[in-house]
Copies of this chain bind each other. A is one copy, B any other.
């Protein structure tokens, strides 16, 4: 998994947008679009700080970053929509379905079985949706 590079002279917003598309794909763009009428500035912050600043840092590849995020969102247990976006993101940056399942299972140790169970059900939904979409493309 190669890290996306920082281009010279690129603004945080431009860099963040590139990272967002690479990591979250369409799911990220949908979140940004859904903020347009209520809090467009927040969409900008969302692109700039998490994606333009944090995910664009060298020192940890995107695969490791998504392991961290999937683990944290599973353990927090109250942010199902964002967990699904990042299970999708994990697949986008090279994690396998089995690896994602391992990460979520491990959270039973730290945040309890209910958090892990709800994380696994979120993954099941994302995997099923992804399989369906892939089959459509093939057909």
Contact = CB atoms under 8 A, between A and B. Distances in A.
A54 B111 contact: no
Nearest to A69: B110
Contacts of A68: 67-68, 70-71, 103, 106-107
A117 interface: yes
Interface residues of A, number: 60
A113 to B, nearest CB: 6
Contacts of A124: 34, 37-38
Interface in A70-85: 70-79, 81-82
A59 B67 CA distance: 13
A77 B72 CA distance: 11
B59 A98 contact: yes
A20 to B, nearest CB: 12
17 contacts: A37-B124, A39-B101, A42-B108, A49-B49, A49-B53, A50-B113, A65-B106, A72-B75, A72-B110, A73-B110, A75-B112, A76-B76, A76-B110, A81-B114, A81-B117, A82-B118, A110-B114
Interface of A: 31, 34-35, 37-39, 41-42, 45-46, 49-50, 53-55, 57, 59-60, 64-65, 67-79, 81-82, 98-99, 101-118, 120-121, 123-124, 127
